[in-house]
Amino acid sequence: HGEMLGDHGLAYKWLMYDPIVHIPLMIRTPKSVNNPSETHDLTSLMDLGPTILEAAGVPVPTYLEGRSLMPYLNGEEVNPRKYVFCEDNYQIMMRSDTHKMVYYIGQEEGELYDLAEDPGELWNLWDKSEYAEVKSKMLVDLLEWMAASNYYNAGYKRQRSKQYGMRWPTEDDAYLHGRKAQPQPRMVDL
């Protein structure tokens, strides 16, 4: 994590302002010595474990939420993260390239910042009607992430195997319980 070091007039680190959650990262590989590159895509500290495992040739357990950064290091096409998340005690932060939301568990109030207009995070837009759609979308996306995170981290799954299929609805199969759970065509006697 970072430190406030006087930003926002604060010296501690438990709030979710960017000086705390924006952590520079450098990775050096034999390929990168003469071919340095950089990205400003959103990445997470959760990505370090899968990156190290993949670089070492070790299969990455499917229950890890992070994803390997090796495609960046190998110059491959990458589908960047839409959000990064951070949790601490009673608050959950989610940040996109353009907005940041801090959700306080059990509270009606929260924080919402338009980072393009307010990179210093000085103007909380949580209750501004013109940002209601952004806030609503982010809250739905936060719920989706929390549900997926709980699913990934369910301890009973890890006891079975380090590699297991994650079951999600798709366009072709919208039923979590498989094709057998889909409504079957009914035969009609004529």
What 3 state SS string does 9-30 have?
HCCCCCCCCHHHHCCCCCCCCH
Please, is 87 exposed, middle or buried when counting C-beta atoms within 10 Å of its C-beta (0-12, 13-18, 19+)?
middle
pLDDT tens profile 28-42? 888 777 888 888 899
CA atoms lying within 13 Å on the CB side of residue 103: 18
Arithmetic mean of pLDDT over the chain: 80
Residues 86 and 92: beta-carbon distance below 8 Å: yes
What mean pLDDT is predicted for residues 15-23? Answer: 71
What mean pLDDT is predicted for residues 85-92? Answer: 86
Least confident of 2-16, 41-55, 65-79: 2-16
Instruction: Report in angstroms the alpha-carbon separations of 166 from 3, 64, 83, 127, 143.
Output: 36, 11, 20, 37, 18
pLDDT at site 64: 81
What mean pLDDT is predicted for residues 121-143? Answer: 95
Instruction: Indicate whether 158 pLDDT > 60.
Output: no
pLDDT tens profile 101-116? 999 988 999 999 999 9
Q: What is the pTM of this model?
A: 0.73
Instruction: Indicate whether 160 pLDDT > 70.
Output: no
Smallest CA-to-CA distance from 121 within 131, 130, 112 is with 112
pLDDT tens profile 138-147? 999 999 888 8
Instruction: Indicate whether 134 pLDDT > 90.
Output: yes
How far is the C-alpha of 101 from the C-alpha of 2, rounded, in Å? 18
How far is the C-alpha of 47 from the C-alpha of 130, rounded, in Å? 34
The length of the chain, given as a count of residues: 190
How far is the C-alpha of 72 from the C-alpha of 83, rounded, in Å? 17
pLDDT at site 150: 76
